[in-house]
Each structure stands twice: as C-alpha cells, then as structure tokens.
Amino acid sequence: ALVTTQPAGGTIAMAGPQRTSDLLAPIMLLSGHTGAVLTTKFSPDGQHLLSGSHDKLVLLWEVFGECKNLLTFRGHTNAVLEVHWSSDGDHAFTASADKTVALWDAKTAGRSRQFKGHSSYVNSCCPAREAPVMASGSDDRSVRLWDTRVRACQRTITHKWPVTAVSTGHSGMHIYSGCLDGLIRVFDLRRPDQVQFTLTGHQEAVTGMRLSPDGNSLLSNAMDNTMRCWDVKPYASGDRCLKVFLGAQHNYEKGLLKCSWSATGSQVSAGSADNFVYVWDSETKRIKYKLPGHKGSVNEVDFHPTQPIISSCSNDKQIYLGEIRGL
C-alpha cells in the first residue's frame, strides 16, 4: 500500500486496498531454504511459522514484523517431508526421508526425541490434538503409532501399499491412512487389527490429509487432481464422500501435495503443481482464490489460526505469507 500525506496538519491516509491483517505488508516473502520447501505450518498462537525442506532443515520464522528466521532445527539427514506443531505450541514434529520422525523443542530447536523403526522414507506424521499419540506413515507400507512421551513404537499397522499420508483423530482414538492405491483406511485404535471403514473415491495416490477443526470431516488431496471431503463420524450412513473440490493440479513430479482447513472450517486449500495457490469455499466448493507468485509446484498451503493470512511453500525454495479478505 502507498502512504500519502495530506496538506499541512492533515492525517496520514493509506491508499490502496484496505488491510485485513497485522502482516508488515500484504505479501511477505520468506527466503532462506536452499532446497524445495515441502511443508509449512503456523503455530497454534499464530506468532510463528515452521517450514521443512529438501535441504534437510526445519526453519522457524516470525510471522509478524520482518519475518525473520529465528531458529534452525538441524538433525535430519534427508529431506523433511512434513512438519506439525504440538497443540500447546511448545514442540514440533517432523517426518523425514531419513526414515525417522523427530520431536523438537520449539523454543530452543533442540531435538527432544527421535522415533526410529521405519525401514524407508517417512512420508507423513500427525500428532493427536488432545492425546500424547502420534502416527507416522512410510514407504515401508506401514503406519506406526507412537506415545510421544517415550521412544519405542507402540504399534505397527501393516498395509499392502506405501503409506503416503496419515492423520490422527483429535482424541487419539482414530487413525486415517492414505495409500498409493488411492484408498483411505480408518482404524479405531481400540480394535487396531481391523479396518473400521474404507473411504473409496480417489483414483490415484493420496498425497495429503487433514482432519477438520471439529473432527467430523476429513480432507484428502490425491494425484487424480481432486480434493475430497469425507464424513468420518463413526455412524454415518450412505456415501461418506461429501464434496469434491476441483482445480488444483498434480503432475509428473508426483509431489506429496498437502491440503488444509481454515480455523473455522469455512475455507479449504491445497498445494498444486501448476504453481498456483488454491483456496475454496468449503460450503459452495467454489474457488475463492487462485494466487500466482510461485515459480514451482506449491507443496502446502496453511491458514493462520486467527487472522486472514495464508502461507504457501514451493519447489522454488520460497515461502509466501499473504493476506486475504476477512475469513
């Protein structure tokens, strides 16, 4: 926005669109990674942003002010494929192609715990919001369940296909696994030896999943160029696929493009291989924003928890924070 001053004694007025957030500028560019940025998440209080990259590093950024890179988390020996915050904002979880998941102290960037057991790339991890439970999914065709207070794996659920995305129920009692076969399997951890139900609809590999804030709906992105919203309430009847969102693209790179919900559940977003950031209205399924700027595949888009701000990260090694109209 341009600043214009009025004649003697006048007040300063802002020209240009009305600002909707506390970002320093309507668009902020965060540069620092030396490889493709594969994942990014806002902290629960919205003050910080985590990003994970092909350069094996996890970076912590401030969201407001000049978006400085505050901390560097070192320890992974291969690409960082997914990051998550603990619900209290004190810790970070990272899944890596080095076959491990790590728990970090978000205030010091020290590694608190390393979870070992997978025999191939760990594509995805997801901590439960209200329990010390974390799930991880790997190319070794398994989902592993961890108690975040101890190092040892609590349970392994084997699959016929590589597991490309996992999500955890808020209470830690349900696990959702997305595989190369396009199916999403739901497990009740009280009976983990059997699939509780299967979500069928995607024609190709599931690349990302995210549970809605109220825990009743699951969002999934897949290589068939669709994003789907599923009813995951335990006793839902009929077709569980509630909505299909179209627009975002996948391509020959076969990146694990993620998806996310806004804090209120009114909007959803997804990464896309056509270099655009997509945001849809979750009720009408209409595209609300198709935002340019990146010069490579957009791998993840995340919503700020309290303000109309989105973050996006890309194979072009950049992260953008952008202000959108009021949510």
3-state secondary structure the chain: CEEECCCCCCCCEEECCCCCCCCCCCEEEEECCCCCEEEEEECCCCCEEEEEECCCCEEEEECCCCCCEEEEECCCCCCEEEEEECCCCCEEEEEECCCEEEEEECCCCCEEEEEECCCCCEEEEEECCCCCEEEEEECCCEEEEEECCCCCEEEEEECCCCEEEEEECCCCCEEEEEECCCCEEEEECCCCCCCCEEECCCCCCEEEEEECCCCCEEEEEECCCEEEEEECCCCCCCCCEEEEEECCCCCCCCCCCCEEECCCCCEEEECECCCCEEEEECCCCCEEEEECCCCCCEEEEEECCCCCEEEEEECCCEEEEEECCCC
Per-residue pLDDT reduced to its tens digit, 62-104: 999 999 999 999 999 999 999 999 999 999 999 999 999 999 9
The rounded distance, in Å, linking the Cα atoms of 224 and 271 is 13
Measured between its terminal Cα atoms, the distance across the chain in Å is 21
Q: Across residues 235-259, what is the average pLDDT?
A: 94
User: What is the model's pLDDT at position 14?
Assistant: 52
Q: Across residues 114-121, what is the average pLDDT?
A: 98
Average pLDDT, the chain: 94
CB-based contacts of 10, cutoff 8 Å, min separation 6: none
Per-residue pLDDT reduced to its tens digit, 161-190: 999 999 999 999 999 999 999 999 999 999
Joined tokens for residue 289: 């924003």
The answer to whether the CB of 297 falls within 8 A of the CB of 315 is yes
User: What's the CATH number for 20-323?
Assistant: 2.130.10.10
Residue 5 pLDDT exceeds 50? no
User: What is the model's pLDDT at position 15?
Assistant: 60
Q: Determine the residue type at 45.
A: D
- Domain ranges across the chain: 20-323
Selection from 10, 20, 41, 111 nearest residue 261 by Cα: 41
User: What is the model's pLDDT at position 6?
Assistant: 41
pTM score, whole prediction: 0.94
Collapse the DSSP code of 183 into the 3-class scheme (helix H, G, I; strand E, B; otherwise coil) and give the result.
Answer: coil
The rounded distance, in Å, linking the Cα atoms of 191 and 193 is 6
Categorize the per-residue pLDDT at 327 as very low, low, confident or very high, splitting at 50, 70 and 90: low
User: What is the model's pLDDT at position 9?
Assistant: 45
Q: For 129, how many CA atoms within 13 A lie in the half-sphere containing its CB?
A: 11
